[in-house]
Structure 1
Amino acid sequence: MARSHLHRIAWMAFFTALAHPAWAALDIGDPVPKFTANAALGGKTFRYSLADALAKGPVVVYFFPAADSNDCSIEAHAFAEAIDQFAALGASVIGVSADDIGTLSRFSVKSCQSRFPVASDEGKTVIQGFDALMQTRPDFANRLSYVIAPDGKVAYYYQNLNPDKHVERMLNAVKALPKTAAK
């Protein structure tokens, strides 16, 4: 009887998990994986290091599904337009997707306006490390933005497929960081 009861509980848990998918984001205060990746800025490729960027101040790491899609281009353009505001607060920005580096090299000029780098994560290790894999389409990153404090911990995050509020929310979160966090 006990085994039957445990079996029933296991099935209920399984179906509950299907009905309520897990939230896909690292939480505030969680340490983030320090990654290095091939990236592009202004059409030039280089090796990006999150640890090196954090040594200079807070970093906005934003994940996006696919370069050159309409919404991803809108979001990249919005980050490019706001990059001076982030820089004035001592913060830098990096976009990450599963696109290949050639695609991102072109995207870094066209949509990012050569204002900030975008990193290629074809193997999705960074995307998975930040819990940013799109659950319904696992070949893509979800639209998920993080503010990472210089100590390497999540200060804020926002997840929404609509690109409209990501830049505004990230700017407000960087502004809200303690002055010691913004170098």
Structure 2
Amino acid sequence: MKNRIAMLVFGTLFSTAALAALPVGSAAPDFTTQASLGGKVYSYTLAEELKKGPVVLYFYPAAFTKGCTIEAHDFADATDKYKALGATVIGVSKDDISTLNKFSVSECRSKFPVASDADQKIMKSYDAVLAFKTSMADRVSFVITPDGKIIYEYQALNPDKHVANTLKALEDWKAGKPVSVAN
């Protein structure tokens, strides 16, 4: 009986972990942090990147974990599709920059940058903190337009739909249609 109650409590926490992300229509909080692309560290600023076009900002719990590796591979495989839509991708986690240097090469395949949020300021500003492990980011993807507005947000610990959903949101936006991605 105790195990069953514990599983119910854990399941409730796990299923409600995705309740707080910034909603569509919100202004995307700007940030500057260390990022790695192809194992090279540089200073990434969201406002500067938005001058080039829309940004897909995705948060993930931890580099080199199963779901995060799958998600990084999916984003890497879709990089050309994002570029065709004029968009860039940035992944953010609490990992330190030395870990991200390795992750950016092996799992992101040097296709897009990953940024360090070791002090969790960025994830907190986007309300992208895991409810049951507040030192880690939830798996949340945002599509941010060049004017700094969030036009799409998707939360799911399962990494499967993040790329497809953000691509669809960008396609709708680029076509001047309302963003209509089913979660």
Same topology, TM > 0.5: yes
Is it true that 1:88 corresponds to 2:88 in the alignment?
Answer: no
Q: What residue is the counterpart of 1:50 in the other structure?
A: 46
Query: Among residues 150, 158, 163, which one is paired with 1:162 in the alignment?
Result: 158
In structure 1, distance between residues paired with 2:89 and 2:104: 12
22 and 53 in structure 1: CA distance in 2 versus 1, 3 angstrom threshold: closer
1:5-58 Cα distance to aligned partner (Å, 9 max, x none): xxxxxxxxxxxxx9x788211111100111011000000000001001100110
Alignment of 1:71-82 (within 5 A): 71-82=67-78
Is it true that 1:114 corresponds to 2:141 in the alignment?
Answer: no
Alignment of 1:12-31 (within 5 A): 23-31=19-27
108 and 135 in structure 1: CA distance in 2 versus 1, 3 angstrom threshold: same
In angstroms, what is the RMSD of aligned CA positions? 1.5
Aligned partner letter, 1:45: V
Give the TM-score normalised by the residue count of structure 2.
Answer: 0.85
Aligned partner letter, 1:122: A
Q: Equivalent residue of 1:177, what SS? A: helix
In structure 1, distance between residues paired with 2:38 and 2:154: 26
Alpha-carbon deviation of 1:141? 0.2
Query: Among residues 122, 137, 142, which one is paired with 1:146 in the alignment?
Result: 142
Whichever of the two has the greater Rg, that structure is 1
Q: What residue is the counterpart of 1:66 in the other structure?
A: 62
Aligned partner letter, 2:73: H
Contact 2:17 2:130 (8 Å CA) reproduced:
no
Aligned partner letter, 1:25: A
In structure 2, distance between residues paired with 1:142 and 1:23: 10
157 and 21 in structure 1: CA distance in 2 versus 1, 3 angstrom threshold: closer
Give the TM-score normalised by the residue count of structure 1.
Answer: 0.85
Q: Equivalent residue of 2:78, what SS? A: helix
In percent, how many aligned pairs have the same letter?
52
162 and 22 in structure 1: CA distance in 2 versus 1, 3 angstrom threshold: closer
In structure 2, distance between residues paired with 1:164 and 1:21: 17
In structure 2, distance between residues paired with 1:21 and 1:75: 18
What runs of 5+ residues in structure 1 fail to find an aligned partner? 1-17
Alpha-carbon deviation of 1:179? 5.1
Matched length:
162
